[in-house]
Amino acid sequence: MEVELGLTLVMVPSTIDDMGLRKPISLDVVIFGGGITGLWLLDTLVRMGARVLLLEADSFGAGQTIASQGIIHGGVKYSLRGMLTPAGRAVRDMPLLWRRCLAGEQQPDLTGTLHRGEFCHLWQTSSIASRLGMIGAQSGLRVTPHKISKYERPDVLRSCPGTVSRLDEQVIDPGSVLEIFSDRHRAHTLRIDAASGIEFSTDGPGQIRLIRMINPSTGDTLDLQPNLTVLTAGVGNGGLRDQIGLSTKLMQRRPLHMTIARGSLPMLNGHCIDGMKTRVTITSTKDYADRTVWQIGGQLAEDGVSMESTLLVDRARSEIQAVLPGIDLRQVDWATYRVDRAEPSTLGGHRPDTAFARRDGNTLTVWPIKMVLVPQLVDQVVQQVSINAGDPLQTDELSDWPRPQVAIYPWEDELSWLTDH
Ligand SMILES: Cc1cc2nc3c(=O)[nH]c(=O)nc-3n(C[C@H](O)[C@H](O)[C@H](O)COP(=O)(O)OP(=O)(O)OC[C@H]3O[C@@H](n4cnc5c(N)ncnc54)[C@H](O)[C@@H]3O)c2cc1C
């Protein structure tokens, strides 16, 4: 449409009506939340030619994804009794799929992702005859542990009394995956004010007719008319469900209290197994000053939920001394961070086994449970999408909207560090 303004002829976007008001934008899909789930889904839908926008309330991955350890699990952690559990079955095909995406052999193309490691170690604290090597064989997993000789062990595992195995589970830097998607889909992502800049009009619980949004930079309003809305907002799904008349009881939070160690440490990725439990899971990366950073999860992070930070650090120090005999921790700083895992409710609040998607009206609420399960979950969501052959979305009309940044890692954030040196 062309409008004459004085002597200047201006192109007015087609979404502006004769009264100068912006017409609602009709969309195949609106996605709420730009963690790994929302961004992977966005990438898939854009490739399918869908008219889609992703709305992010904070920064990409600001919930769980940026805080995660980035292990592409193949199921061993869930099959320590030697049996193939439902959780093990759900993830066992995922490492190969991720490997292909990371190598650019399958979509989404994730070449450029930073790798923290190509494999993990599994080790034990006692010399009791190890069952580690048997786990994969007994359980029918695709990625199985292989016992390594004393000479193949990294120095930090040399004094461990039990078996040490190698497990071909890659460890990726989740922030770099978020960066790839964010750069690729900048035009389709908008930052929103979730607290006061969003209003839903519904025709019943979960049946969204219109989403009215206020541009956080300009104060202008924009209306969206989605055929399908997908909630991929992690813990934010609870509040969103409430806003559209759906029960919040569908969601549970399972908290973790993670420890970070920083300083003179070797690079190590892996799990120390104690009985049927993962006593600690350690993943390593470098911070902005090129110091080694260990994220320490596993049972320690579950037990740590009830502890204050200083108590957890004390416990972490002694756990690390116990599981890595002889390690020198004199040049190490310590900190902790809390994060909630967002999941569908289970009886007793246990970990669900598989990725979750539920439809109410024209809204899907999803949680992947694990980052590795995101591709499986996105496949399920895509089955629910119908694409109306219409004009491609003119994203240049949204150029005045602020775009989200990628979240920063917990250890680059403001934490109180405890130091012994
Ligand atoms: C400590 C820890 C370690 C983990 N380690 C692993 C691992 O090694 N391997 C593995 O496979 N899995 C791991 N996981 C699980 C994995 O991190 C999660 O399953 C996955 O990251 C969930 O991604 P998501 O995109 O669904 O949610 P999130 O990453 O939580 O993203 C949700 C997004 O929605 C946004 N948002 C929130 N509210 C709103 C709103 N109202 N409107 C719009 N946007 C909103 C948030 O800002 C955020 O960007 C770990 C989890 C934790 C906590």
Could you read off the pLDDT of 394-420 as tens digits, one per residue? 888 899 999 999 999 999 998 999 997
User: Rounded to two decimals, what is the model's pTM?
Assistant: 0.93
Query: What would the mean pLDDT of 31-45 be, rounded to a whole number?
Result: 98
239 Cβ closer than 6 Å to some ligand 1 atom: yes
Distance CA 149, CA 399 (A): 58
297 lines ligand 1 (CB under 6 A): yes
Cis peptide before 352 (omega within 30 of 0): no
Q: Is the pLDDT of residue 39 over 60?
A: yes
CATH number for 24-68+173-250+345-421 (one of 3.50.50.60, 3.40.50.300, 3.40.190.10, 3.20.20.10): it is 3.50.50.60
Q: Confirm or reject: Cβ of 226 under 6 Å from ligand 1.
A: no
Taking only the tens place, the pLDDT of each residue in 217-243 is 999 999 999 999 999 999 999 999 999
Structure tokens at 56: 């992010």
The count of other CB atoms within 10 Å of the CB of residue 104 is 12
Q: What is the mean pLDDT of residues 130-148?
A: 70
Whether 101 has a pLDDT exceeding 90, the answer reads yes
pLDDT of 176 higher than 70: yes
pLDDT band at 75 (very low <50, low <70, confident <90, very high): confident
pLDDT score for 383? 97
Which amino acid, residue 357? A
* Spacing of C-alpha 174 from chain mean position: 7
- The candidate with the shortest Cα–Cα distance to 233, out of 378, 339, 342, is 342
What are the tokens at 254? 């399972």
The answer to whether the peptide bond before residue 108 is cis (omega within 30 degrees of 0) is yes
Looking at residue 127, its amino acid is: S
Helical ranges in 222-294 per DSSP H = 236-243
> Which ligand 1 atom sits closest to the C-alpha of 340?
53
Q: List alpha helices for 192-324, DSSP H.
A: 236-243, 299-303, 309-323
In the reported structure, the alpha carbon of residue 37 is separated from the centroid of ligand 1 by a whole-number distance in angstroms of 8
Min mean pLDDT across 74-78, 101-105, 219-223, 279-283 is at 74-78
Q: Is the CB–ligand 1 distance for residue 238 below 6 Å?
A: no
What pLDDT shows up at residue 5? 36
Q: Is the CB of 368 under 6 A from ligand 1?
A: yes
Query: Taking 70 as the threshold, does the pLDDT of residue 130 lie above it?
Result: no
- Contact between residue 169 and residue 99 where contact means Cβ atoms under 8 Å apart: no
Q: Are 61 and 36 in contact (CB under 8 A)?
A: yes
Ligand 1 probe mutation, 198, 282, 370, most atoms within 8 A of CB: 370
Phi and psi (nearest 5°) for 155? -50, -40
The residue to mutate among 40, 58, 68, 302, having the most atoms of ligand 1 within 8 angstroms of its beta carbon, is 68
| Average pLDDT across the chain, whole number | 90
Give CA angle at 332 (331, 334), nearest 5°: 155
Report the pLDDT value the prediction gives residue 2, as an integer from 0 to 100. 37
Q: Does residue 200 surpass a pLDDT of 90?
A: yes
262 CA distance to ligand 1 middle (Å):
23
- Where do the domains of the chain lie? 24-68+173-250+345-421
Average pLDDT (283-300) is 97
- % pLDDT > 70, the chain: 91
- Give the separation between CA 200 and CA 231, rounded to whole angstroms: 14
Confidence grade of residue 19 (pLDDT, cut at 50, 70, 90): low
153 DSSP assignment? S
